[in-house]
Amino acid sequence: MVNKANLQIAKLVPKSDQYGGLLVTPSETVETDGSQLIRVSVCATQEPEDFDPFMLPRAAALDAAKTGALSVHNTHEARGLARDYPDWKRVIPDEGDATLVVSFNARTLARVLAAAADFCRTTEGSKMPVVTLRFYGPNSALRIDIEGDEQEFTGVVMPCRLPAKNL
């Protein structure tokens, strides 16, 4: 289902997105550009029987995120496109198969990753900066390194001391 929170991922849909926007199902909203994927699930007590998954174009999703209103015209136009969306469920690894699980404060991690993104945008040179994540264990810091042509970025985020849900 659609709500203001899960429409926020529309910001990540590229303007030239080949998949057309967000995939909306009764229980989740999905965004992908082929190199990354974000899925936001919605806890629904009862899924509607007559709900057909549909594609929500980027512009309509951004508008709905701002206004809180979803245009029936935009969703009606896009319903048939949902069948062309890639099989995104194959891309998400099963969480039970993880070999290392580390929990981080989401806001702290987001701030460091935002600084890393800013570094990547301002790094001059011909090569695309590559981000390397180094995990040293479940109770150790995450190290984030980016090498630019003439600069390097290192960020460190300490793990949460509380166990993550579902571990």
Q: What is the pLDDT of residue 62?
A: 81
Of the listed ranges 12-21, 30-39, 74-83, 145-154, the one predicted with least confidence: 74-83
Question: How much is the pTM?
Answer: 0.71
The confidence score (pLDDT) of residue 69 equals 67
Residue bearing the bigger pLDDT, 78 or 3: 3
Residue 97 CA from chain centroid, whole number: 20
On the question of pLDDT at 80 being above 70, the answer is: no
Answer whether 31's CB lies under 8 Å from 37's CB: yes
What value does the mean pLDDT take over residues 60-73?
70
Over residues 98-108, the mean pLDDT reads: 89
Alpha-carbon dihedral sign for residues 107, 31, 39, 41:
positive
Percentage of residues in the chain having pLDDT higher than 90: 14
The confidence score (pLDDT) of residue 73 equals 47
For the CA atoms of 164, 40, 19, 90, what is the dihedral angle to 10 degrees? 50
Kindly state the average pLDDT of the residues 140-161: 87
User: How many Cα neighbours within 13 Å face the side chain of 13?
Assistant: 25
The chain-wide mean pLDDT, for the chain, equals 77
Strand spans (E) along the chain: 21-24, 28-32, 37-41, 54-57, 130-135, 142-147, 152-157
71 DSSP β-pair partners:
none
Checking if the pLDDT of 106 tops 70, the result is yes
Residue 55 confidence (pLDDT) above 70? yes
pLDDT above 70 covers what percent of the chain?
Answer: 73
More confident residue, 163 or 6: 6
- Say if residue 71's pLDDT is above 70: no
